Amino acid sequence: MFPKGKVILSGMQPSGALHLGNWLGALKNWVNLQQDNHCFFTIVDLHAITIPYEPKELPQRVLELAADFLAAGIDPEKSVLFVQSHVPEHVELAWLFNTITPLGELERMTQFKDKASEHREAQNAGLLNYPILMAADILLYHPDLVPVGEDQTQHVEFTRTLARKFNSTFGEYFTEPKVYEAQVPRVMSLLEPAKKMSKSYGPNHCIFLSDEPETIRKKIAKAVTDDGGTADGRISGGRNLLQLFKVLSDDKALKQQLDDQYRVGELKYSEFKPLLAEAIIKTLEPIRKKRQELLSKPKQVEKTLLSGRDSARVIAAKTLSDVKERMGLA
């Protein structure tokens, strides 16, 4: 099911605590991919500063995301885990790419349009140029595949366009990376199951990787089970919870039984919800404990990131030097 022997790169913004959606939708797959592939995972702090943020909090957010990655199973012996701003080649290549990017390409990006209208008071050129930096993040490492969620596929398409543009202007150099679409469950909000689980709706919509067992029990107890939201092919709250149980539990017989009950409308949520809460707790408990342990030794996490930076830089510096030579800047 997972590709073998490929170069893989992905990134995540340090924008706060990770939730079950991030774990099932991204991180869990990254952990699987690293078994048979050469993986690069980067914490994209330079992307995170394109929207208003608190500078004093950023280092802690980066550290916590690194702890989340490591706790979830990203193994620095197998994968290169690094912070984007530690490798200045990303910014330098992004500038070079600026000069071959048609403005129109940037202006039509869906994420730019969304974020620019969301942050009207703080529109900045970084928000517009965001995909150029992402293209640099990717192309520096010559990946075959880029695992991203659906909302980022347009940016990977853009990256392919830039690679082609570079090749046709300065000579064949980059190979075009492809989106790696894992079959991932879309985890829906606990309180508004018509929407994706996202921390922007508030903490009670999400289960965070750092949530204590008691918090998880309370959040699941309050989860909406029916919103009549099956219109437009949307899933109901009950279906969302059942799907979560299906991914998290290995008890096949129980899963079948609950599914049958759901289909005939006889699922008793008062009995099912505690089962789900315990399945979530059992899955997340080792991650939460490991995360706490790592955060109690921040120096060790920082050391891992610096060693990742060193490995990343070797490759990034070579690509940048090749690019500059082709652009007449060597």
The residues assigned a catalytic role are 115, 196, 199
x/- mask, ligand TRP, residues 147-176, rule CB under 6 A, reads -x---x--x---------------------
Give Cα separations from 117 to 15, 28, 267 (angstroms).
19, 32, 42
Q: What's the per-residue H, E or C state across 60-93?
A: HHHHHHHHHHHHHCCCCCCCEEEEHHHCCHHHHH
Contact 285, 232 (CB under 8 A): no
- 64 contributes a contact to ligand TRP by CB under 6 A: no
- 134 contributes a contact to ligand AMP by CB under 6 A: no
Sign for the CA dihedral angle at 277, 283, 286, 290 comes to negative
Residues 111-140 that bind ligand TRP (CB under 6 A): 134, 137-138
Residue 304 binds which entry of ligand TRP, ligand AMP, none, CB below 5-8 Å type-dependent: none
Alpha-carbon distance of 155 to 106, in angstroms, equals: 10
Residue 7 is inside which H or E element, if any? strand 7-12
Strands of the sheet with 7-12, listed across from one edge: 80-83, 38-43, 7-12, 145-147, 178-180
Choose the binding region for ligand AMP from 54-62, 134-142, 193-201, 260-268 (rule: CB under 6 A). Answer: 193-201
Taking the complex as a whole, the smallest distance from the CB of residue 198 to ligand AMP amounts, in Å, to: 6
Nearer to ligand AMP, 26 or 179 (CB): 26
- 47 contributes a contact to ligand TRP by CB under 6 A: yes
Contact 95, 133 (CB under 8 A): no
Q: Which of these, 152, 46, 153, 154, lies nearest to 95 by C-alpha position?
A: 46
Q: Concatenate the DSSP letters of all residues of 123-180 into one string.
A: --HHHHHHHHHHHHHHHTT--SEEE--GGGHHHHHHHHHHHHHHHHHH-S-PPPPEEE
Taking the complex as a whole, the smallest distance from the CB of residue 49 to ligand AMP amounts, in Å, to: 15
Residue 138 binds which entry of ligand TRP, ligand AMP, none, CB below 5-8 Å type-dependent: ligand TRP
Q: What values do phi and psi take at 315, rounded to 5?
A: -75, -45
Choose the binding region for ligand AMP from 21-29, 238-246, 253-261, 321-329 (rule: CB under 6 A). Answer: 21-29
Taking the complex as a whole, the smallest distance from the CB of residue 175 to ligand TRP amounts, in Å, to: 15
Q: Which of 146, 162, 287, 323 binds ligand TRP (CB under 6 A)?
A: 146
Residue 26 binds which entry of ligand AMP, ligand TRP, none, CB below 5-8 Å type-dependent: ligand AMP
Choose the binding region for ligand TRP from 9-17, 31-39, 261-269, 283-291 (rule: CB under 6 A). Answer: 9-17
Alpha-carbon distance of 201 to 205, in angstroms, equals: 6
- 308 contributes a contact to ligand TRP by CB under 6 A: no
Taking the complex as a whole, the smallest distance from the CB of residue 158 to ligand TRP amounts, in Å, to: 11
Residue 22 binds which entry of ligand TRP, ligand AMP, none, CB below 5-8 Å type-dependent: ligand AMP
Residues that bind ligand TRP (CB under 6 A): 9-13, 44, 47, 134, 137-138, 146, 148, 152, 155
